[in-house]
């Protein structure tokens, strides 16, 4: 009996630090009881005593009960997504992101997802393939405790989640020029990431123009970061627009680095030389 007692003490003693210092990823559902055809919000929260700076995993849910409609990272502790959580058709949302400087504390939101309910039943939502890395400069794995969530979907009308109104545009963001042999074969590209504390950034749009905006309206197309610049001469202004899920917009401009292209410089120099020649010819003595 004493041997069993001492064994239990040893197990508890050596396991206790892991329980104390392990990070916890929990799923919170609002509301937890909802009617068919109504909306609920699923948010992933992190608690960690040890500073951590990298997070990855997969949010899994039953597709016969829940249909994802939107993903928001408006209040996320993640400042740079490697794999931005996006809606797919496979019953999961995969994510991977980093927080330079690390995070420690309670209630750090990674992201939220909105779902429409489609059937009256119980839905189990969980996290899989999770990795959390310490902010120790070595990428040491942090032990993680996962807390899933259950949702009760009834045939009767119940409470539903209503998004708060968002009238503020995304925060100002910076465009970084890069060219590397490992990406786009050394051609110029822009890297950017906007933050929206309200509904979250929905998408980005881009326009390249050699004309002032007030003269010719830019033509916008959807894009992502990194963006391969079409005008590799860098003689165009590149406008990147961040649009949040409420439709608010913020534009950042990467100004042209060169006024004219090489061929255009030759043409300009030729025109200038011709002008100087004509002027000299008209002013020479006897003409």
Q: What is the pLDDT of residue 97?
A: 93
Do residues 26 and 103 both lie within one domain? yes
pLDDT score, position 56: 96
| Cα 120 off chain centre by | 33
Residue 160 lies in a domain: no
Same domain, 9 and 46: yes
184 and 74 in a common domain: no
**Domain membership of residue 210 as a residue range:** 176-256
Q: Quick check: 224 and 205 in contact, CB under 8 A?
A: no
Of 95, 120, 154, the one marking the end of a domain is 154
Q: Which tens digit of pLDDT belongs to each residue from 154-199?
A: 998 888 898 888 899 999 999 999 998 888 999 999 999 898 888 8
Q: What pLDDT, on a 0 to 100 scale, did the predictor assign at position 3? A: 47
| pLDDT reading at 1 higher than 70 | no
Burial level of 184, CB count in 10 A (0-12/13-18/19+)? middle
- 141 against 3, higher pLDDT: 141
pLDDT at 47 over 90: yes
Q: What does the pLDDT read at residue 17?
A: 45
Reported as a pLDDT band with limits 50, 70 and 90, residue 147 is very high
Neighbours of 180 (CB within 10 A): 12
Whole-number Cα distances in Å, 172 to 85, 191, 196, 242, 252: 22, 14, 9, 9, 7
Question: Residue 277: its pLDDT value, please?
Answer: 64
pLDDT tens per residue across span 9-36: 344 334 444 445 689 999 999 999 999 9
Read off the pLDDT band of 204 (50, 70, 90). very high
For 269, counting Cβ atoms within 10 Å of its Cβ (0-12 exposed, 13-18 middle, 19+ buried), the class is: exposed
pLDDT for 260 beyond 90: no
pLDDT in tens, 110-127: 999 999 999 999 999 999
Residue 62: CB partners within 8 Å, gap ≥ 6?
91, 123, 124
Per-chain mean pLDDT for the chain: 86
Residue 253 has pLDDT above 70, yes or no: yes
Sequence-ordered strand ranges (E) for the chain: 23-30, 33-35, 39-60, 66-72, 80-83, 92-117, 122-134, 144-147, 149-154, 176-178, 189-191, 201-209, 221-223, 227-228, 237-244, 249-254
Q: Are 119 and 67 in contact (CB under 8 A)?
A: no
Report the CATH number that the domain containing residue 182 is assigned in CATH.
2.60.40
For residues 19 and 149, membership in a common domain is answered with yes
* Long-range pairs of 254-258 with CB within 8 A, sequence gap ≥ 24: 254/175, 254/177, 254/190, 256/210, 257/177, 258/233, 258/234
User: Which pLDDT does position 213 carry in this prediction?
Assistant: 67
Q: What percent of the chain has pLDDT over 90?
A: 61
In a domain, 113, yes or no: yes
pLDDT at 10: 42
* Nearest partner of 56 among 98, 90, 14, judged by Cα: 98
Same-domain pairing of 13 and 120: yes
**Average pLDDT, integer, range 201-218:** 86
How sure is the predictor about 287, in pLDDT bands with cuts at 50, 70 and 90? low
Whether 120 and 236 map to the same domain: the answer is: no
Instruction: Say whether pLDDT at 7 is over 80.
Output: no
């Amino acid at each position: 009996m004493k041997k069993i007692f001492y064994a239990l003490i040893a197990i508890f003693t050596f396991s206790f630090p892991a329980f104390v210092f392990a990070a916890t990823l929990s799923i919170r559902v609002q509301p937890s009881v909802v009617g068919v055809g109504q909306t609920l919000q699923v948010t992933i929260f992190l608690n960690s005593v040890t500073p951590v700076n990298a997070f990855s995993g997969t949010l899994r849910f039953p597709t016969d009960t829940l249909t994802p409609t939107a993903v928001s990272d408006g209040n996320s502790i993640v400042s740079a997504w490697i794999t931005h959580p996006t809606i797919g058709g496979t019953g999961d949302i995969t994510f991977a992101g980093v927080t330079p400087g690390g995070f420690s504390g309670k209630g750090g939101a990674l992201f939220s997802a909105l779902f429409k309910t489609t059937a009256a039943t119980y839905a189990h939502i969980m996290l899989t393939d999770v990795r959390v890395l310490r902010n120790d400069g070595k990428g040491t794995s942090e032990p993680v405790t996962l807390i899933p969530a259950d949702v009760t979907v009834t045939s009767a009308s119940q409470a539903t989640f209503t998004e708060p109104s968002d009238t503020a545009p995304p925060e100002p963001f910076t465009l970084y020029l890069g060219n590397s042999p490992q990406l786009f074969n050394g051609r110029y590209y822009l890297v950017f990431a906007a933050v929206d504390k309200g509904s979250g950034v929905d998408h980005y749009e881009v326009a390249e123009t050699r004309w002032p905006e007030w003269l010719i309206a830019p033509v916008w197309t959807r894009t992502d970061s990194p963006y391969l610049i079409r005008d590799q001469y860098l003689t165009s202004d590149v406008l990147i627009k961040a649009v949040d899920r409420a439709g608010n917009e913020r534009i950042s401009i990467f100004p042209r680095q060169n006024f004219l292209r090489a061929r255009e410089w030759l043409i300009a120099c030729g025109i200038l030389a011709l002008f100087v020649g004509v002027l000299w010819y008209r002013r020479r003595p006897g003409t």
